[in-house]
Structure 1
Amino acid sequence: MSNDLRHRRSLRSVLAVGAASAALLCAAAGPAAAAQSPGQKIADALRTSPVYVDPSLSAAVDAADQRALVQQIQQSHLPIRVVLVPLVEGDNWAGKPEQLTEVVHDRMGGGPAILITPGGFTDDIEARAWPTHSHQAENAAASVYFDDSMKGAGLAKRISRAIDVIKAGNGDQVYQRLTAHLGTPSSRPSGSGTPKSPTGQATSPVVRIVALAAGPVLVVAAGWLLLRRRSRLRDFGTPFALPRSVFAAAHKADEDGLRERAGEEVVRLGEESRAATGDPAAVERALDAYAAAGTVLDRARGVPDLAGVFALVAEGRAALSPAPAALPLCFFHPLHGPAARRIPWRPLGRREQLRVAACDTCLRAVRARRAPEVLTDRLDGHVVPYFEVPAEQSLWAATGYGSLLAGDSLTVRVQRGDFTRTLP
């Protein structure tokens, strides 16, 4: 009996030690497992399969759909990955497809890749490629939204269609074909007196791209700005809906109110810059932006210049922020605030594209095929979209309030005199 008792005690001791060891191992592994970010979880899953579907979307893209997409991707021999997660305001990606793709691509270790995700709107999908625009992936995915044969198709079929176009490598051509007939150029009202730019004379980059051989015309849409099909086009005095915002109105009281608000923001930026204790170079950039904003504010001639003050203040605040570089203000209407993402902008009748920053409001308008509000200016007595003003007359037309700059800043442009040279 004594030997049996000792045996049972020994067995209990072994089990106790084993349980304690297991508990310690679980405790040690717990924080590491809990620390795995959503982006890392998706990246790890993509190393096993090129298609990741969040459980909440498994009804829309079931196991059979996933297998078919995997096979299609493998046959394409391209670094395509599909990431299907619900995107809502306040989630890990702030509801933004580009933030999701940026994080996942980084967690995957970078390198060549094409990530397909849900878009920011119903029935929309997006693609992001590294290197940028490789295999014309962005337009390949964008074209699906405008493909009548895809109307009512499920998410899996729309993604499959995008993969087909990406594999073919003709996304730009397909996008152009599907959108070319959705709007037509609208001539400027007669008697506008808008002069043609002499050969060699500098004009806004946007104007140079959208100029048509038939003569001076305005563009009905910018980028994906597409008017509703099978409906009569409204006869706008300009090809964009005139801003209803008080900031873009031509009334003096509204302009005075905007000027006062701009002054408050400049003062606040100066206070924040002088109180900042971070990277000296970043603080210096913020102070430079503060000085540039003050220069523009002091000599602002109207709403477009005051909008430039806000754009410069945004540059200064971005310099002080520890967050990744922010997008500039909305290209179409900078007083809408910071842009949500960049979109390809192909003026009608042209093959060339720009990538401009657009706010959520303008994105919704563009995707709904409605004209977004644009900031207007005056040219030869006529109200026109601000970017129709020749570049030598407007810093804002030349830069798109930051959207058209590459490796430069509005602050630098003001410092070197680009703004003051446009003054009478």
Structure 2
Amino acid sequence: MSTARTTRRGALAVIVALLMFALVAPAQAAAPAQDARADTVGQIAKGLLDSRLYVTSEAGNALSPADQNAIKTSLGGDNDADIRAVVVSNGVSRAEVRQMLPAVAERVGKGETYVAITADGSRMGGISKKLDEQEINQLVTRTNGETLKNRLIKFGDLAEHKVDDNAKSSATRGYVLLGALVLVVAAVTAGLLVARRRRHDREAREMADLKSGVQEDVTLLGEDIARLDLDVMSPTLDPDTRTDYERAMNSYDDAKRSTERATRPHDMQSVTTALEDGRYYMTATRARLSGDPVPERRPPCFFNPQHGPSVEDVLWAPPGGVGRLVPACAADAEAVLHGTDPDVRMVPSGGGRRPYWDAGPAYAPYAGGYYYGYGGFDLLGGMMVGTMLGSMMGGWGDPGVGGGDMGGGWDFGGGDFGDFGGGGDFGGF
């Protein structure tokens, strides 16, 4: 009984083992087919880094080693066309080639012309920086009927000659255009020299007016400091008062030095920024000496920054303009509220004197420096709408970041693959 049971168990184990083998063996045999994958863009690009030809695994044994060497040698001599070729399977689609070629070219990073051709040599297409779509189509048509090897070699020769012919034609046109260009450049250069001289003279006059106006502001602050005549070494002087007075004197010194060094309008921004500091600290010094609270730090009086910090915002409109809120000192605020004219800062301009906001672009940094700590040109833009400086402020500020022309486009064309890109630019795809 025991022996029979053991025999049955052994037979059952053998049957189970045979069934498992029958199930597992086909799966193992099919595994390689399931794992097989088409060549990736990275693999193709890597193969073309140091070679003019890449045969994909799907193309099979389309070319013998000797044929591959012959093609590589031939394409290697096409220096101007700089061709790289990919042999693909016969069943590849137009969409796949359209995606693959630009992506490979981008990865390789060199080469002027890329072509794809099927393993049987029946279909061919390409992209090029040196040849347009129509030219590629013509070359592909002229190689129809050749074997795979001969078609690639012939295409390379034709492409090289076409690129050379294009270069010669361009050179001839270039010489003709160069002669005309020399004449045009001579005329333009003469005109530019005259315009530059006139501009230089105008800018020199504007800078002289601006510097004269700024020196007036610097001198006025210096006289204001001198009239106060505080002895900063006096032991009876309040430390905070001494500190504010010293800051005012230091600001005056900075403004004076910056004015002497200034050679262009932009340099005046640092001068008026220092003057704004000095004006505020003089106001703070006087308040401390009088026992009054130190005033809030506000933007300078819009009508005349020489007046020092503003005390309130008032509604004001330039002649023919719309109203806007501007910071004003006590005297100018009262004048505006009572319908009289505020004391406007008149600056030298063109042999006369004008409000600083209508004295020309040279005064833009001058105004911007006074309001640098309060929003600069952003604040002034709103206050000066309708004035000469206000009309210019929309174009000031940091240049934005714009997208440049990617350049180096690829024109698709060729054979039965049809129109890959419609002549479009595929640079940077």
Same fold at TM > 0.5:
no
- Where relative contact order (Cα < 8 A, 6+ residues apart) is larger, the structure is 2
User: Which structure would you say has the larger Rg?
Assistant: 2
TM band (smaller chain): under 0.3
| TM-score (structure 1 length as normaliser) | 0.28
Structure with more helix by fraction: 2
